[in-house]
Structure 1
Amino acid sequence: RFAGAEQEPEGPHTAELLVTLKPDGQLNVPKATAILDKKVSQIHDLNISYLLSQSSLSSLIGSEQAAIVIQVKGRSLDVLADITQQIYQRLRGLSELTNVRTNILEGNPEVDLIPDRTLMASLNLSPQQVITLIGNHLRGQIATTIQDIDQAKDIRVQLGRDDQTLAELEDIFVPVPGASKAVRLAELVNIRIQPGPKEIVHKDQERVAQTFADLAEGTKLSDAVAAVRDRLATINMPENYYIRLGGEEERRRQSFESLRFALILALILVYMVMASLFESLVHPFVIMFSMPLAAIGVVWAFYLTGQTLNMMGYIGIIMLAGIVVNNAIVLVDYVNRLRRVDRESTVDAIVHGSQRRMRPILMTTLTTILALTALALGFGEGADSRAPMAIAVIGGLISSTLLTLIFIPVLYSIVNDITEFLRRLFGSKDDDIDEDGFEADTGAI
């Protein structure tokens, strides 16, 4: 669904169409946009832009209006409009971009009064005095008040609608302080009629003009950003005016900064919970090693599917912090039980534990992957925004499961040997029970 579903038409010269794509998945938004562009390009004097209708989830997570957003900051609306028009013309010629548009829209006509400050100063007139006089003529003045039962009503005297014309405005006489004469308003100000801005956007207490662009089909975000930077470098910026490149790239940077703390906190909490359950600081460390193994699968999953790592993808990575450790927990806990209850040696416990726990581990992982497959394939409306989360979890589960059955037993054995060496080095030579309650290995297999 796209084409500005959330906005009202902006005037008699503007039309809005709502297009809903069929849920069969044969046509996505970029392909539909390309097809429509070919059709409407045959119509002259027509400006068309496409706006993706955001789902409730996309609105909640703060989705941008476009992949590329260029902000121009400054004070003068005229200068902002001129710079934005230059950016618009330069970006339209880039093959990496499509659907280039701006937020500089013409609104209703308005009357601008540009004062002759030199003449007004010589007559001892201030702009505020002139503004007050014009307001009194247009809005009228309260002549008196009448009492209507229990409330007072103001009686306002003003010009009739037929007299509120531009000619009448020019013929307003402005009294000169300290003199017995008056000056026509047309002599004090330059009056002009021009379209006013549809909206004035402010960000960080500065006026902002924005240019939006979507990625052409098959274009990488990094390539598009590089091409845009090259085009923007050719624009001569006036003093105190700045260009900032945002959009998906900016959102990705901000999301990573905000979610990095959440990921670190998740890792700490997972480690603390496992340390309290295992009553050991060593075994949770072995289990936590499965997380880097999951990162390998996440990278490959996004590379193979061609998806970008957005905020939903980061959320999937944070979910992995609590999911991928399950397989290692099952394996390490069973190995510990074999050592503690059956008094098996470390090597025997690792071999037997890996053999017996492999089937439950594979079954648990497979059911989770199958449950997320539909989400990863992007079925249903708004599924494109949720697919990266499922892709991150599936990729991490596949790599961590396969590598956990190989690296976790090896790492467990290495860490156990190091712990045993340190215990023998600093502990009692007659102590046959290690700190975790396991019988110390004698070296026999």
Structure 2
Amino acid sequence: FADGYKSALDWGLRHRWWVIWIGVGALVGVILAIVGSFMPSYIDAITPARVFLVLGIAIALGVSLFGSNRARRLRANLAGAAVFAFAMAGAGAIGHFLAGIKGAPLFQFTFFPNVESGLIQVDVTLAPGSSLDRTLAVVERVEEAAMGIPEVDYVTSIVGRQSSGGFGVGNTGSQYASLSVSLKPKRALLDTIEFWKAHDESLRTRKQTTIQTELMQRIGKVPGAEIVVYGQGNFGPGGDIQVAVRSLDPANALPAAEKVAEVLRGLEGVVNVGLSSKPGKPELSVIPDRTKLADNDLSVAQMGAVLRVLYEGNTDAKYREAGREYDIRINLSDDTRKQVSELDNVPITFRQGRPVLLSEVAQIQRTVKQDKVERLDRQRQVTAYGYLLPGYVAGSTGAQLREILRNTDLGEGVVWQELGQNQAQQNEQGHMAVAFLLAIIFVFMVLAALFDNILYPFIIQLAQPQAMVGALLALMITGKPFDIVGFIAVIMLIGLVGKNAILLVDFANTLRARGLSRHEALLESGRTRMRPILMTTLALILAMMPLAVSLGRGSEFRSPLGVIIIGGMSLSTLLTLFVIPCSYTIFDDLSRHIGGGMRAVTGRLLKQRDGDDERPGGDGKGEGTQKPGEVPDRVE
């Protein structure tokens, strides 16, 4: 096997540019396949390949200007550029085709990994004014549907209240209810492997998302009720997609939030779209006329205090019996409070013995206002939210949403902001990018100190893009999204993948120092170091397998870390055995040319200085001449 690799490496070194372009093509091809999977058509999927066609033609023209046989080299380079661009277009088309089969883009990203919490939430909302009995009947139907699923352990129900759901104050009223469906523990892979141990037979095998979908089907449509079924989030309460809409004008916030909700309904994979603030019960709004109030020496607070007594009542009077005290509530009767005409004749105060009626200082209107008012930074806020179907992630869907909202007119003075994990992702992505760059810089500094050369570290770090390709491929094959745990794995790869290239380059330099030519040194280095490279890589891959396959319960949280390291190390090792030696020759030639150029410039400068010294008085020491064969004491 080692001899076969040595023969293949010998061919690769003799055709080093082919090997380099194959490595570059693998990297660019995977990226274009991912981009093509997001495109709406095949034409859009292959469009990015035009850039590489133009770039390849420019490079071919530039390279062909030097050396002999320019026409022949130009034809060959143009043909190579066309083949490369055609291959990249094919990669984009393949990505679009695979995305059509999958029904979703090949690559998805989110901030926080999805883990099974074992808890499903159900929110029930009826029409305003619905009785508790009506709400309770719907809750009992949901409970019956949930308990009919074998994987459900128990159900907890609350009638008359809903949790805040991440939107501030929770909803209270007879039309609201919430249920928490607790699932049985999930059987892990380790439970199956340890067959000699006795395990609980009630452990479930189906995923939480599958059970959640079945629960939605069992509940079905309930007339007059809005039922939302969603998994308990791992990033806090609230919908998977949340957009807060704010405005200084309260009248603009709700219409703008409704526009955002319509955009959410149009996104693929988003269901159960709603608003944090909904229309409440019909009510009477008293709109004061401040001018008439001032004419009668009244204030809005005084008028409000009178109306509060009429509707809420006054409990200043007390009734005492047998040592106990009871409030005596004085207010309008129910019949009177429902009649607007009677409310018009309510006296607010008396002026010179004449009553000042409510109709004289205010207008009374029947309205339907929001059931909840939220403010942030003194602005009225309404949050639009939605939940994602299984197979969709917040990061990819949020990117589509942002693109649409940037081109949507929500009204004057209206601003919007994402909440939830998309907000956390936007806040942290700058810090994540800095951490990524620092990791690359630190590795470069260590390698530059190790080789005492600033070009050789670039050879080692060529393994890093190859590892990124392997990481992306591993995520696409396993169907896992890229999240914060995966980003940690990428930073780990920056340091891990360099070890293989270090083994090759360092031993090749040692062999060259012993007198071997560059070609022979690379062949011997590859043959000798192949075994330790494969052994260390295989050891790392086997160590990451338990993480990648999620052996224990809840280990799916760490699964992307193992998948990315396995994919990155596998592909990087295979490409390193060929790409790194070929890159070594290119950078070595570049280093020799740069060194030769610097020596030539230095030689001209020294020669020019020597010529100046030979002129009379040129050295400023008197005679300015030197005897033939005499060696100068010092050259500055």
TM-score, normalised relative to structure 2? 0.52
Moved more, 331-340 or 419-428: 419-428
**2:198 matched to 1:19?**
no
Change (3 A) 1:132 1:94: same
Q: Deviations 1:62-109 (Å, cap 9, x if unpaired)? A: xx8444333322246565445545655775576632233332267899
Deviation at 1:132, TM superposition (A): 7.6
**2:299 matched to 1:114?**
no
Change (3 A) 1:259 1:224: closer
Change (3 A) 1:236 1:361: closer
1:41 is aligned, of 216, 220, 226, to: 220
2:518 is aligned, of 341, 346, 351, to: 346
Moved more, 18-27 or 261-270: 18-27
Structure-1 residue corresponding to 2:374: 200
Structure-2 residue corresponding to 1:156: none
SS in 2 for 1:101: strand
1:392 is aligned, of 564, 567, 588, to: 564
Deviation at 1:282, TM superposition (A): 2.4
Deviation at 1:128, TM superposition (A): 5.2
Deviation at 1:117, TM superposition (A): 2.7
The answer to whether the 8 A contact 2:548-2:559 is kept is yes
Structure-2 residue corresponding to 1:211: 384
**2:517 matched to 1:327?**
no
Change (3 A) 1:201 1:403: farther
Structure-2 residue corresponding to 1:442: none
The answer to whether the 8 A contact 1:66-1:248 is kept is no
SS in 2 for 1:327: helix
What amino acid sits opposite 1:162 in the alignment?
R
Q: In 1, Cα distance between the equivalents of 2:369 and 2:327? A: 25
Q: In 2, Cα distance between the equivalents of 1:205 and 1:96? A: 34
1:3 is aligned, of 120, 123, 135, to: 120
Q: In 2, Cα distance between the equivalents of 1:409 and 1:188? A: 91
What amino acid sits opposite 1:32 in the alignment?
I
Deviation at 1:404, TM superposition (A): 1.0
Deviation at 1:165, TM superposition (A): 6.2
Structure-2 residue corresponding to 1:143: none
Moved more, 40-49 or 374-383: 374-383
The answer to whether the 8 A contact 1:103-1:211 is kept is yes
2:457 is aligned, of 284, 290, 293, to: 284
Moved more, 224-233 or 111-120: 224-233
The answer to whether the 8 A contact 1:2-1:51 is kept is no
Deviation at 1:265, TM superposition (A): 1.5
What amino acid sits opposite 1:70 in the alignment?
V
Q: In 2, Cα distance between the equivalents of 1:235 and 1:346? A: 61
SS in 1 for 2:181: coil
Q: Deviations 1:154-209 (Å, cap 9, x if unpaired)? A: xxxxx955126689997674477xx776635575444879776446253x653322
SS in 2 for 1:404: helix
Structure-2 residue corresponding to 1:269: 442
Change (3 A) 1:107 1:408: same
TM-score, normalised relative to structure 1? 0.71
Q: In 2, Cα distance between the equivalents of 1:114 and 1:424? A: 89
Q: In 1, Cα distance between the equivalents of 2:406 and 2:441? A: 44
Counterparts of 1:168-187 in structure 2 under 5 Å? 173-174=348-349, 183-184=356-357, 187=360
**2:587 matched to 1:415?**
yes
Structure-2 residue corresponding to 1:358: 530
Q: In 1, Cα distance between the equivalents of 2:407 and 2:379? A: 24
SS in 1 for 2:491: helix
Structure-1 residue corresponding to 2:475: 302
Structure-1 residue corresponding to 2:548: 376
What amino acid sits opposite 2:183 in the alignment?
T
Q: Deviations 1:205-257 (Å, cap 9, x if unpaired)? A: 53322222233345687996798689989998454335566776666555443
Counterparts of 1:73-88 in structure 2 under 5 Å? 73-75=246-248, 80-81=253-254, 83-84=256-257, 88=261
The answer to whether the 8 A contact 1:88-1:211 is kept is yes
Structure-1 residue corresponding to 2:242: 69
Deviation at 1:403, TM superposition (A): 0.9
Deviation at 1:39, TM superposition (A): 0.9
The answer to whether the 8 A contact 2:469-2:568 is kept is yes
Instruction: Give the total of aligned pairs.
Output: 402
**2:334 matched to 1:163?**
no
SS in 2 for 1:268: helix
SS in 1 for 2:384: strand
Change (3 A) 1:184 1:423: same
Structure-2 residue corresponding to 1:32: 211
SS in 2 for 1:210: strand
Q: In 1, Cα distance between the equivalents of 2:466 and 2:357? A: 81
Q: In 2, Cα distance between the equivalents of 1:172 and 1:285? A: 88
Deviation at 1:407, TM superposition (A): 0.9
Deviation at 1:348, TM superposition (A): 2.9
The answer to whether the 8 A contact 2:282-2:367 is kept is yes
Moved more, 282-291 or 386-395: 386-395
Change (3 A) 1:21 1:54: farther
The answer to whether the 8 A contact 1:109-1:196 is kept is no
Q: In 1, Cα distance between the equivalents of 2:329 and 2:398? A: 55
Counterparts of 1:51-62 in structure 2 under 5 Å? 51-55=230-234, 58=235
Q: Deviations 1:4-51 (Å, cap 9, x if unpaired)? A: 49x985355412213336424753343333212111114433322244
What amino acid sits opposite 1:402 in the alignment?
L
SS in 2 for 1:18: strand
SS in 1 for 2:272: strand
% of aligned pairs identical?
Answer: 27
Change (3 A) 1:422 1:199: same
Change (3 A) 1:307 1:112: farther
Deviation at 1:287, TM superposition (A): 0.9
Structure 2: which 5+ residue stretches go unaligned?
1-117, 123-156, 163-171, 189-204, 315-325, 338-342, 601-636
